[in-house]
Amino acid sequence: MSDPITEQIHAMGKKARAAAYQLAALSSDQKNAILRAMAQGLRDNEAEILSENQKDLTAGQEKGLSSAMIDRLKLDSSRLEAVASALEHVATLPDPVGQVLEDWTQPNGLRIEQIRVPIGTIGIIYESRPNVTADAAALCFKTGNATILRGGSEAIHSNRAIASALSTSGAKAGLPEHAIQLIPFTDRQNVAAMAGMDQWLDLIIPRGGKGLIETVVSLARMPVIKHYDGICHIYVSEKADQEMAINLILNSKVQKPGVCNALETLLIQKSIAKDFLPKTASALREKGVELRGCQNCLEFMSDLIPATEEDWSTEYLEKILSIKIVDTLEEAITHINTYGSHHTDSIVTTDSAEAEKFLRSIDSACVMHNASTRFADGGEFGFGAEIGISTDKLHARGPMGLRELTSYQYRIRGNGQTR
């Protein structure tokens, strides 16, 4: 720990630990008042935040970032207002801290309670979206956790401005010092420094590309909650309402293609493919989607781009869709469990028994019946803003809201019992 960057980050960790103990003592009313003050702070600093965001947009365009990446990076007045409103919404949500999960009395008279408590200190490493700075800070703060944020280099100016606005406005309302900290530089070694300071961080959450997540997992000395790729599927059964299916496919793929819950692979039951594939392809092409099909697809539509093995395990985050024709529901399930990222998958069918088999058999965080994959979202689940979509199975799975940012402790009350 001799280099200056590592020393600085470890110093931030020490300060975060001290702040976490102060946060744990705040009441729900105090936290909510601070959240509302931070939301207003974003509004009051709109001009500066948007000016800094423009620097990031200009740099991103010069670097040749994709249109989807630029869109994820962009802030304007309406988007910043949405971020501020999200903070205010978090203030209205029930505070899970202090919730009694279980309460019982042993035969010896000991009363035992299992209580939700903050995790403590959380490091969050993310890319692209500057709104994550506010969302992550708000959710962690609401649950009494101190946060160290490390955003991507492409959004550094935006992130600094947002973090400054949150800290300054929050402090005036009682936010403990160092409760929300942003690493102000983008050297890659700061990821390794964060991953190595298990004495200060209780949990680390990486959000971004597979390379970033695998790096964090390989280096981390504390628990990691992963937010891997969103290779999401829709399977259209022969018993599907086809008009509904096309609407769901279009919404899942086109409404916002650059996000993790967007559709990336479409599976079609063979018996309906001859008629359904051309209709669906036409609708998708009208929206500018590039289509890549398996060999069976090419028999019905020779103008599709031939899909490769790599396509089945690719998260495009663009207007590109791979399509595969399958013989049976079982083949669809096997394909999804083999190539998917355990994020979100949906079946379109009018057969409830078929739907229930799909729901039971798919090994993903979110499994849907007759619904767009775009609903895999903390806001849509009623959680408010979210940290992300966990593709892990332990502690947190799916959209991570407030409850997933807590742990629990046992509180035992006696009257002199000895063992």
pLDDT digits (tens, 9 = 90+) for 201-246: 999 999 877 788 899 999 999 999 988 789 999 999 999 999 999 9
| Backbone phi and psi for residue 28, each to the nearest 5 degrees, phi listed first | -60, -40
Q: Averaged over 263-270, what is the pLDDT?
A: 98
Q: Averaged over 156-181, what is the pLDDT?
A: 97
Domain boundaries, the chain: 4-225+400-413, 232-375
Q: 3.40.605.10, 3.40.640.10, 3.90.550.10, 3.10.20.30: which CATH number matches 4-225+400-413?
A: 3.40.605.10
Three state DSSP letters for 65-128: CCHHHHHHHCCCHHHHHHHHHHHHHHHHCCCCCCCEEEEEECCCCCEEEEEEEECCEEEEEECC
Which of 177, 111, 109, 112 lies closest to 146 in space, CA to CA? 177
Which of 52, 83, 56, 84 lies closest to 70 in space, CA to CA? 56
CA 171 – CA 162 distance, rounded (Å): 14
One-letter amino acid at 52 equals E
Burial 387-419 (b: 16+ CB within 10 A, else e): bbbbbbeeebbbbbbbebbbeeeeeeeeeeeee
Question: For 317-327, how does the pLDDT look when each residue is reduced to its tens digit (9 = 90+)?
Answer: 999 999 999 99
pLDDT higher than 80, residue 158 = yes
Q: Averaged over 111-133, what is the pLDDT?
A: 94
Q: State the burial class of residue 25 (Cβ atoms within 10 Å of its Cβ: 0-12, 13-18, 19+).
A: exposed
CATH topology assigned to domain 232-375: Aldehyde Dehydrogenase; Chain A, domain 2 (3.40.309)
In this prediction, residue 384 has a pLDDT band, given cuts at 50, 70 and 90, of low
pLDDT recorded at residue 313 = 96
- Asked if 286 contacts 249 with a C-beta cutoff of 8 angstroms, the reply is no
Question: For 359-379, how does the pLDDT look when each residue is reduced to its tens digit (9 = 90+)?
Answer: 999 999 999 999 999 999 988
Tell me whether strands 406-413 and 111-118 are parallel, antiparallel or unpaired.
Answer: antiparallel
pLDDT recorded at residue 189 = 84
Tell me whether strands 263-269 and 344-348 are parallel, antiparallel or unpaired.
Answer: unpaired
In this prediction, residue 2 has a pLDDT band, given cuts at 50, 70 and 90, of low
